[in-house]
Structure 1
Amino acid sequence: MPTEREKMIAGDRYDPDDPQLVADRRAARDRLALFNRTPVSDERRRADIVSDLFGSVGDGVYLEPPFRCDYGYNVHVGEDFYTNFDCVILDAAPVEFGDDCMLAPGVHVYTATHPLEAAERTAGLEYAKPVTVGDAVWIGGRAVLNPGVTVGDGAVIGSGAVVTEDVPANVVVQGNPAEVVRELE
């Protein structure tokens, strides 16, 4: 029988109040509290905390504090990843960023979601869908990536965009819901 963590990562309905998941979230919050209060000048310690928190980390990764996530172990970032202040990644499912990605202030990435039917939703089970971001993607301030989306290589997500569907490579999207407004070469 799969554990609640295994069900969560697989995208099946899971109990977020499972003791192991609660412990996992608390451990991530402890590491985040340490990261968010570690001086920026202590680059080595900050890098060690991020490497310990995330599932995988490429070279040249930099996060501006404060940064928040649920578990951390489901976050995978490639080379030269940068996130500005106040970013949130709710990583109940895997969140994967390619190389050379930049996140502006206040970007939110969500994987956790809930049943639409009220009776199911109030029963407390939830599920998650992975988010995948390709290489050389720029995500503008206060943009939101919703559960299950994929963003193609070279895409630009405009500030304030709410991404509810997959974004092709080499386009600019903006709006709520986000729509393609320009193709890039």
Structure 2
Amino acid sequence: MTVKEKIQSKNGYISKHEGMDPSLKLKAQNLTWQYNNLRPDEIEKRNEILQELFGTCSPLTFVEPSFRCDYGFNIHTEGLTLINYNCVMLDTSPIHIGANTFIGPGTCLTCAGHAIDPTERGMGIGTSKPITLEKDVWLGANCTVCGGVTIGEGSIIGAGSVVTKDIPAGVIAVGNPCRVMRKITEEDKVNLEKDFMIL
């Protein structure tokens, strides 16, 4: 199994950093630099870069700069995906983002980790596990989602949360570490006629 195949595996892995191929990151570094330096009206060029950068990229993927990732080929979007300003994705394992997912500004999805033992950590031993955001997920601003986490369909993660374990579908979860607060119910629906002025 090549290093790239290992990185693309749906299973987690342990690595020694000196065994990693720095050239695998170079394409992503160049593409994200280009993307982050485009004019706001260069929409077609933005779309072209995302299609080249991501492993799977829905045409309804919208990413506000600045955006950073490790490899790009490990990021997969389905359907409408909104990624707000200053997002970082450490895609040392696959990141799957379901349709109608909203990712708030300042959010970090980090598959990558380091050894807990300080001697091993100093030797460059690292870990990596995939991240899955199922469809209709909303991550508030400045969230961190750690490797190995799946966030269930329709769930909301409150701003500033650190998600270290799986979150079930259809709930609101907040905090550090992130915990389920309650289920999302019919009472959470907005009454457009009663509660808000429609623009």
Instruction: Output the TM-score relative to the length of structure 2.
Output: 0.88
Q: 1:3 to 1:15 in 2, by over 3 A?
A: farther
Structure 1 pair 15–4 and aligned structure 2 pair: CA distance change class (3 A):
farther
Instruction: Give the match for residue 12 of structure 1.
Output: 13
Report what 2:194 is aligned to.
Answer: none
Instruction: Determine the structure 2 residue equivalent to 1:106.
Output: 106
What SS is found at the alignment partner of 1:32? helix
1:4-44 Cα offsets, whole Å, 9 max, x none, are 2333333222233446x311212211000000011121111
Secondary structure (helix, strand or coil) at the match of 2:173 reads strand
C-alpha displacement at 1:111, in angstroms? 0.1
Partner of 2:161: 161
Alpha-carbon distance in structure 2 between the residues aligned to 1:14 and 1:5: 12
Report how far residue 116 of structure 1 moved: 1.2
The CA distance in 2 between the partners of 1:16 and 1:79, in whole Å, is 34
SS class of match (1:89): strand
- Residue ranges of structure 1 left out of the alignment (5+ in a row): none
Residue 125 of structure 2 aligns to a residue whose secondary structure is coil
Using the alignment, how far apart are the partners of 1:56 and 1:62 within structure 2? 13
- TM alignment of 1:57-68, pairs within 5 A: 57-68=57-68
Shift of 1:113: 1.0
Partner SS for 1:120: helix
CA contact (8 A) 1:13 1:126 kept: yes
Contact (CA 8 Å) 1:7, 1:14: kept in 2 or not? no
**Are residues 1:176 and 2:176 paired?**
yes
The CA distance in 1 between the partners of 2:52 and 2:100, in whole Å, is: 21
Higher radius of gyration, 1 or 2: 2
Whether the aligned pair in 2 keeps the contact of 1:4 and 1:15 (CA below 8 Å) is no
Deviation at 1:123, TM superposition (A): 1.4
Q: Which amino acid aligns with 1:155?
A: S
State TM-score, norm by structure 1: 0.94
CA RMSD of aligned residues (A): 1.3
After superposition, give the CA deviation of every residue in 1:112-141 in whole Å (9 maximum; x if it has no partner): 112212222211121210000000111000
Letter in 1 for 2:15: Y
Q: How many residues are paired up?
A: 183
Distance 1:3 1:124 in 2: 19
Aligned partner letter, 2:70: D
Q: Which amino acid aligns with 2:3?
A: E
Unaligned stretches of 5+ in structure 2? 186-199
